[in-house]
Structure 1
């Protein structure tokens, strides 16, 4: 399989000047008026650049905009090169990013998900897969991966229609400002849920796709409410259509490619000092305790915290919030004695406060036998288990236990473990923290 470059290694050729300016502006939360004030460039000029009406601005204009956006050397160079190239040429029929609907803009950088994103992007871009469902426990980072994949596909010429389910929780991104595409996106979501009028929608999507394809993202969708027959019609009538879903359960349609998203890699110290989970935790640490120095002792404590919390991003985010009231050694001690206490975000963050509830709901949807295995593993108190342990604890045949473990992986309540070098799995700390009674209450 050919792997597309990671976001850090992507070349600027795939991004139009207008998309770069707009993306940088939204990423730091500026309006066009605010950018105009900071750069001394008129609002109209910035608007024309973002819409692609002005493709070759003067060098001084680009410099002033880069100054207003506070761009670093690499981003500044990409902006200057895009301005020098002007309109995307070559006669290939591709449209610039400013000419078609764009995905929302994430509020935080991607950390430790480059490999997963590259696979999703390449499979959708090439058409190897036309429907990918990203699965994982709540808070594991499904939406962030979808945002990055959608951004890269948009830069490659795909119009992106992004729909977020109403009850999916707080959004960690800035929604795209495109009213016409918002209406079309809602119509597509309604169509796949079995409602709305079907006449004309495939034709409009095919027209928007042109020769480059089109990506529809359903973020936080309840796959049980989707209509497989409508999906078949959409894929048949719009050859360039690609669908990317983030969900807690598979859709279970024949063309679906399940993409299991595990928590960030978090080896036990000292191996975990530079792991993705540690880098993620450090990015949040700087927001709450910039005075803490990332020295050898601190990195060891952070690696231990990340390992104990299984690298689960939302759990790490909640744990980092506790540094407003304690230091790293104290936090490390709490993780060792009672990690469940750290799953509540001290600021009352809505997404963090729903972590227990959503994990409990996931456990509650599992078959009774799967729940009994989780309870037995919790009571055994072992950090890791293998297929042999599942057979021993359940008394069921190996093939049956293999299917159970696969189901638990798909649901996101366990993750593969590489600590011992053998084929093993870990029940996530988020799940272990829920007693059977708590899980039942949360699922009710």
Structure 2
């Protein structure tokens, strides 16, 4: 006597799950995108579930969808039972082959194009080492989570490791076997133990199958490149995705710059669908569910988003202040002293403040780069172009080009498309933190420079 479902029974159970999800979503008038925003699950994952393509949905995924649908106990139990019926097939049992990424804490805003590119490159094996770089709080971890979830949906095991001291912006999957396997890989790449001591567990568990190893918040200076080369030889299908403050700068590395969200200048018209505005509105609903933004409110929100350069963590921090002030007051503070709003109204136990993180990034830059940033800020213009860097530094064109690239990679400047030309903006959070980063090194150049 067997207790598992046949393949046909498993398919039917998953199809029933999809029908339930779609029925609840339509009943309360949500689109797939709106449900994705509420549940923090990707639109693609919801679409696959509703079509019955996701053969083994995770328990966390179903719980988040049930939360997004605001299901009562009976409807939630029906969803969970449909999942259990689908999991009783021969593939039941958690192994490294189906190791899953953690569940995100926040919805994905925009980034679909970036996630699609990363997913395609890592799934096809075109790239085997990708490093996501950008300023702290810009959304590197959230993009890595989305990419990992898509690859997991495509059948690739995902081993996720959050580096010690990094802010864990997700809900880890409590599986001791997978956690031990991931720790072995991370420790090996960090150089722990003998140089010739390759841990047997990764190769034994994964063999020549494909797998994604994510090291979130890692310091590339702690990683040993020859060990990665050996690990990839032992596990030919292994891909490595890093989120870091700076590149590893090793052969074969694919550098992927994560910029802030698009926040167009509202002077050209308010765009409520702009990614930064959508993020702010989502945070607004959390702190002020009673507030329904009118036309004037949306104009204030669009200006705050533009002034804070669409930086996700800065926007979340600013939105948290709406518990003690209104939108018009918030806009006035952002205009006069944005530094006061760059940390959320919290108890401070969520890790270093945004200002502290930005200050550390600035302190790690060469003194000449900081002097250039100070000169650009002193000039008073919202944007700068290559010619401004040539004028302020007096350096040759190749040097100036490399300096701008360095600033982009560190995340302290972002490309600007408002004027339809190749221009850049020094982020507001950087302008706020710059005077405290290294006072002696940031004296503004003279007007004649």
TM-score (norm 2): 0.80
1:402-413 equivalence runs, <5 A: 402-413=401-412
User: Which residue of structure 1 lines up, in the alignment, with residue 232 of structure 2?
Assistant: 235
1:289 to 1:64, Cα distance in 2 relative to 1, 3 A: closer
User: Which residue of structure 2 lines up, in the alignment, with residue 172 of structure 1?
Assistant: 169
Deviation at 1:368, TM superposition (A): 1.5
1:15-94 equivalence runs, <5 A: 15-17=54-56, 19-25=57-63, 38-39=73-74, 65-66=77-78
Measure the CA separation in 1 of the matches of 2:194 and 2:138. 35
1:369 to 1:99, Cα distance in 2 relative to 1, 3 A: closer
User: Which residue of structure 2 lines up, in the alignment, with residue 73 of structure 1?
Assistant: none
Conserved 8 A contact 2:263-2:277: yes
User: Which residue of structure 2 lines up, in the alignment, with residue 427 of structure 1?
Assistant: 426
Q: Deviations over 1:337-376 (max 9, x none)?
A: 1111111212234447521111111111111111110110
Q: Secondary structure at the match of 2:437?
A: helix
Q: Deviations over 1:272-308 (max 9, x none)?
A: 4221101011111001011111322221111110000
Conserved 8 A contact 2:188-2:199: no
User: Which residue of structure 1 lines up, in the alignment, with residue 107 of structure 2?
Assistant: 109
Equivalent residue in structure 1 for 2:220, among 203, 220, 223? 223
User: Which residue of structure 2 lines up, in the alignment, with residue 310 of structure 1?
Assistant: 309
Equivalent residue in structure 1 for 2:265, among 255, 258, 268? 268
Measure the CA separation in 1 of the matches of 2:336 and 2:173. 44
Equivalent residue in structure 2 for 1:159, among 154, 157, 172? 157
1:186 to 1:28, Cα distance in 2 relative to 1, 3 A: farther
Measure the CA separation in 2 of the matches of 1:300 and 1:427. 23
Conserved 8 A contact 2:184-2:202: no
Deviation at 1:38, TM superposition (A): 3.4
1:119-134 equivalence runs, <5 A: 119-134=117-132
How many pairs align? Answer: 392
Deviation at 1:212, TM superposition (A): 4.7
1:38 to 1:99, Cα distance in 2 relative to 1, 3 A: farther
TM-score (norm 1): 0.81
Q: CA RMSD in A?
A: 3.0
User: Which residue of structure 2 lines up, in the alignment, with residue 75 of structure 1?
Assistant: none
Measure the CA separation in 2 of the matches of 1:21 and 1:157. 17
Conserved 8 A contact 1:373-1:394: yes
1:259 to 1:138, Cα distance in 2 relative to 1, 3 A: same
1:84 to 1:361, Cα distance in 2 relative to 1, 3 A: closer
Structure 1 residues not aligned, in runs of 5+ = 1-5, 30-34, 40-62, 70-78, 90-94
Conserved 8 A contact 2:96-2:178: no
Q: Secondary structure at the match of 2:130?
A: strand
1:218 to 1:343, Cα distance in 2 relative to 1, 3 A: same
Equivalent residue in structure 2 for 1:100, among 98, 101, 105? 98
Task: Report whether the alignment pairs 1:135 with 2:137.
Answer: no
Task: Report whether the alignment pairs 1:149 with 2:143.
Answer: no
User: Which residue of structure 2 lines up, in the alignment, with residue 393 of structure 1?
Assistant: 392
Q: Deviations over 1:135-164 (max 9, x none)?
A: 010011111111111111112111111111
Structure 2 residues not aligned, in runs of 5+ = 1-40, 442-449
